[in-house]
Amino acid sequence: MSGGVDSSVAALLLKKQGYDVVGVTMQIWDDAVKLPDTGHSGCYGPGEARDLEFARAVAARLGIPHVAVPLADQYKRYVLDYFRAEYRAGRTPNPCMVCNQRLKFGFLLDRAREQGISFDLFATGHYARVVRDNVTSQCRLLRGVDHKKDQSYFLARLTREQLRQVLFPIGELTKVEVIRIAQDAGFNEVAAREESQDFVECDDYSALFQQTDNRPGPIVDTAGHLLGQHNGIIHYTIGQREGLNLGGQKQPLYVIGIDASANRVIVGPAPDLLRSEFEVTDCNWLTIELPSAPMEVTVQVRYNHKGCPGKVAILNNPKDSGRARVNLDQPQRAVAPGQAAVFYRDDMVIGSGWIS
């Protein structure tokens, strides 16, 4: 329970359906990184205290127990350290996907059991669906009914084993319906809370890094010509235009590559951002049978990407399913190393891999 309307309504619906519900909230903020309290909530920051109070208040009104589970050390190790390492390597991290796999659907459940909470299923307020096959006992991950709020992309790193114990009570609802349910139940204050999808409660991520990470270096074009200076590769990502400070150019320039070994930012015109072929590593397959031939799928290369038809082919042989090559029917903009490519067939998640 995050203290927001989605997880609150999820708990409300489960209680109405007759489940024995316990609310749990991750505590990941320990003031190790100095961030100002801006008054709004994010995943990581001092606003966690307000979220915790909202979650406790909702649980109390629902008549269910509420437990806070401390995971600050795990969050620093598996999310913040990963986030820093990816930017330092010139890649674009996806902390939400890592947090879901390792913490929210991993350490949180382990620690809850260690704290004496016994449970059969774990529910969250994600806009996604899990369908169970009664014949094979397999679970399929599907997009939420509200495609504008769908969060299946962020859940695509969950394993089949993790999905077996998951419920998504609001996956069949739209955001409008969720808010109306909260209002009808008298949770107007929760329904009116500002929605936050920020990873960190600050305007940029610089507070998470050390001063030594701000190491200046050259900005060059694809031919290697020096165009300017950057103030540290951690401030740049593929597709970025703002903040380059390159005046006098004939056409707009974008970050098309980051060479961490040479501490260089490579820029080029918009057409240079287009990619129709790339590889992914550390694939997570949610389909039972992996075909030896290329699979026709819809490929989503970032959360707000609408997806593109294409093919994904496992490299080497079907027994080595960790690497795959993706070929898109149409070139897509800003395919960034470090981000996840998620493969869909209609609404069903087939698998995912990290863009390399």
Give the whole-angstrom CA distance, residue 234 versus residue 213: 7
Rg (CA), the chain: 22
Which residues are marked as active site?
Answer: 99, 202
Please check whether residue 100 is in contact with residue 152, taking contact to mean a CB–CB distance below 8 angstroms. no
Beta-carbon contacts of 139 under 8 Å, excluding residues fewer than 6 positions away, are 130, 131, 132, 133, 160, 163, 164, 166
* The pair of three-digit structure tokens given for residue 351, joined into one six-digit string: 């698998």
* The pair of three-digit structure tokens given for residue 215, joined into one six-digit string: 């190491």
Q: Does an H or E element contain 191, and which? A: helix 188-191
- Token pair 């294409």: residue: 310
* The pair of three-digit structure tokens given for residue 123, joined into one six-digit string: 């529910």
Give the whole-angstrom CA distance, residue 92 versus residue 336: 6
Please check whether residue 283 is in contact with residue 290, taking contact to mean a CB–CB distance below 8 angstroms. no
Phi and psi dihedrals of 314, rounded to 5?
A: -70, 130
HSE of 87, CA atoms in CB hemisphere, 13 A: 21
Please check whether residue 338 is in contact with residue 355, taking contact to mean a CB–CB distance below 8 angstroms. yes
Give the whole-angstrom CA distance, residue 82 versus residue 87: 9
Please check whether residue 146 is in contact with residue 173, taking contact to mean a CB–CB distance below 8 angstroms. yes
29-33 LR contacts (CB < 8 Å, sep 24+)? 29/72, 30/72, 32/72, 32/76, 33/80, 33/207, 33/208
Q: What DSSP string describes 221-278?
A: -TT--EEEEES-GGG--TT--TT---TT-SS--EEEEEETTTTEEEEE-GGGGEEEEE
**CA angle at residue 180 from 176 to 183, to 5 degrees?**
140
